[in-house]
Each structure stands twice: as structure tokens, then as C-alpha cells.
Amino acid sequence: MIPGAFEYHRPKSVADAVKLLSELGEDARPLAGGHSLIPMMKLRLATPEHLVDLGAIGELKGIRQDSGTIVIGAMTTQHALIVSDILATKLPILREAALVVADPQVRYVGTLGGNVANGDPGNDMPAVMMCLDAAYTVLGKQGERRISARQFYRGAYATALAAGEIVTEIRVPVPATGHGHAYEKLKRKVGDYATAAAAVVLTMSGGKVASCAIGLTNVAETPLLAEEAAKIVVGSSLDAATVKKAAAAAEAITSPASDSRGSAEYRTKMAGVMLSRALARAKSLAA
Ligand SMILES: Cc1cc2nc3c(=O)[nH]c(=O)nc-3n(C[C@H](O)[C@H](O)[C@H](O)COP(=O)(O)OP(=O)(O)OC[C@H]3O[C@@H](n4cnc5c(N)ncnc54)[C@H](O)[C@@H]3O)c2cc1C
């Protein structure tokens, strides 16, 4: 349970971090809160020779509104999401999801940037970001680019990030006023990763669903955007038959592994159950 030897670097600016990562090459990894990377290093599943700690870079922290977009610095902790007034008003699903990530000790140190960049299908924020149609600003030696969360996840621990690139901010379009939202997560105990989880953001008009987006956590190698399920509910009043059909459509795109959280069949079924609950709660919150 002791990591291999590594050199520790603590740059003071984003520019210095990017320069270091590009000079050190494939043997270097950015370090954020360390709550995924350090356990992996202890298990020798990751053996970086250099850690570039982003913790001293003030410009990577904070939450602000930029007209219709909420911009969250990558080094903003999961705890900071919970206590943010802007998020409580404009993006309550983010606060809700942050509250079910791990436990308070992890959330005080673990960051949003680390959670979305990690690529672990068990992380909660990626499916929420796909549901919200967020984008990640990334910076590397070639310059800055923006990647949609919906295009970012390629496989377990495989993302669209190129070597040496870091996520600097997460940009989330503010959902319509009066939208309904829910993140339903089944976990075996407090602090556990999801057996299955579903994120829903929807709007209602005249008793019918006017728009809907759905994300699923930990039921495939990547977070999933359940587009067909969302299409099924749009135009409906979320009657029982429609919800059942949407749950079946969501289950159909999952491919979870059987593991200590349950068999593949059980986890697939739970994705549908979490979605049904999330749809009902989102409807109840929509104005
Ligand atoms: C007991 C326990 C329970 C947990 N339960 C949950 C849970 O229920 N749900 C959940 O979502 N997570 C859970 N986690 C993981 C936790 O949320 C981590 O904090 C998170 O996955 C990673 O964030 P971090 O800041 O700690 O990143 P780190 O561990 O420092 O980094 C993770 C990975 O992302 C890379 N990285 C970090 N920041 C950047 C960046 N800005 N740009 C590019 N790459 C970057 C690192 O190089 C590394 O590969 C749990 C962790 C523990 C220890």
C-alpha cells in the first residue's frame, strides 16, 4: 500500500503547470485532490514518476456566472459546490449530486475537475455534466480547446484529453428557469460509488414534458447519455406506461459488469428504477 517513488512539483500558475507537464511528458500526471489518484498509486495501478500538484493555482478555483453559463474552476472542491449560493439557485442538481459523492472528508479535498477528468465510470459528476450538456475547457502546449462532456468519455479511464492537457474549467449552461431536476443514486452505504444512478433535467409546459435530458452513472464503461429514453418522455405527462418505456430504453443501452455491487442484470434493472424515480422527482420540482 505504498506508492512507487515520484517527484513532486507545485507550480503557481496554469501556464507553469502546462509547461511542466509538456516537458515531463507521459511520466507526469496532474494531481488535484488526490482522492482517486493516490489510492491508485498505492495499489500500483498508476505509477507516475512526476506529480504536478495543481493545488497552489488560485486561478483554477471558484464559481462564477458568465451570462447564461456557470463557470466552475477545475480545482473547486466538491464541498464548495455544496455551499455555493449560485449553484443552489441556478444549478441545484449539481449541489444534489455533490452531496452523494463519497463522504464529507473526500468532498473537502476532492475537486470537480478531478472528478470529471478521472474517467472512472463510478464518478458521479460526468453523467450529470452530460445531462446538463456541459463543456470542459482544456489547456495544453498546443493551446486551449473546449470539449463537450458528451464527447469526452471514450472508455474506462480513457478520455478525450491529450497527454499534457489539463482541464481548467467546467462550463455549464444554466437550465431554463422552472426546470425540474433529480439525481437518484443507489449505493450500498454512505460513501460508496453508485450501483446505478440517473440524472434528469426537464421542463414542463401545460402538464407535458417540453424538454428532457438523462445521464446514467456506472452502468457501462463510460457515463451514458440516454437519448432514446429522453425522446420517449418528451410530449408525455410522464404517465406510468411512458415512464416504463423510457426505463426500458435506458436499460437497453447499459452494459454494466457484475461486481460486488450486484450482478449485471440487477445493475441494469436498477438503472431503470433510478431513472423512474428521477423522472418523478424532477416532474414534481418543475414549475
Ligand atoms: C472513499 C472514497 C469514496 C469515493 N466515492 C466516490 C463517489 O461516490 N462518487 C464519486 O464521484 N467519486 C468518489 N470518490 C472519488 C472522489 O470523488 C475523487 O475526489 C475524484 O474522483 C477525483 O478528484 P480529485 O480532485 O481527488 O482528483 P485526483 O485524484 O487528484 O485525480 C484524479 C485523476 O484526474 C486527473 N486530474 C485531476 N485534475 C485534473 C485536471 N484539472 N485536468 C486533467 N486531469 C486532472 C489526475 O491526473 C488523475 O488521473 C471516492 C473517493 C474515495 C477515496
| Contact (Cβ atoms closer than 8 angstroms) between residue 228 and residue 213 | no
Closest protein CA for atom 27 of ligand 1: 114
Check residue 2 and give its pLDDT: 87
141 or 1: which carries more pLDDT confidence?
Answer: 141
**Ligand 1, pocket-test mutation among 24, 36, 165, most atoms within 8 A of CB:** 36
Residue 161 CA, closest ligand 1 atom number: 43
- Residue closest to 187 by CA, chosen among 267, 105, 107, 250: 267
Contact between 22 and 106 under an 8 Å Cβ cutoff? The reply is no
For residues 61 and 75, the answer to whether their CB atoms sit within 8 Å is: yes
- Mean pLDDT, rounded, for 270-283: 98
Of 101, 128, 170, 222, the residue with max ligand 1 atoms within 8 A of its CB, to mutate for a pocket test, comes to 101
Closest of 90, 287, 263, 265 to residue 207, by C-alpha: 287
Average pLDDT on 4-11 reads 96
- 274: pLDDT strictly greater than 90: yes
Cell numbers given for 48: 507516475
pLDDT bin (cut points 50, 70, 90) of residue 188 is very high
- Nearest atom in ligand 1 to 100's CA: 8
pLDDT of residue 19: 97
* pLDDT score at 77: 98
- Dihedral through CA 161, CA 147, CA 130, CA 230, nearest 10? -130
For the record, the C-alpha cell of 60 comes out as: 483554477
Backbone angles phi, psi at 236, to 5 degrees: -100, 170
- The Cα 243–Cα 220 span in angstroms is 21
pLDDT averaged over every residue in the chain = 97
Q: Mutation test of ligand 1: which of 103, 115, 189 has the most ligand atoms closer than 8 Å to its C-beta?
A: 115
- Looking at the whole model, is its pTM more than 0.95? yes
pLDDT for the residue 1: 75
What percent of the chain clears pLDDT 90, i.e. is strictly above it? Answer: 98
pLDDT in tens, 44-97: 999 999 999 999 999 999 999 999 999 999 999 999 999 999 999 999 999 999
What is the arithmetic mean of pLDDT over 238-267? 97
Burial readout 106-118 (b: 16 or more C-beta within 10 A, e: otherwise): bbebbbbbbbbbb
Does pLDDT of 113 surpass 80?
yes
- Ligand 1 first shell, C-beta below 6 A: 29-37, 39, 54, 74, 101-102, 106, 110-111, 113-115, 117-118, 123-125, 161, 166-167, 191, 193
How confident is the model at residue 168, as a pLDDT? 98
pLDDT at 237 over 90: yes
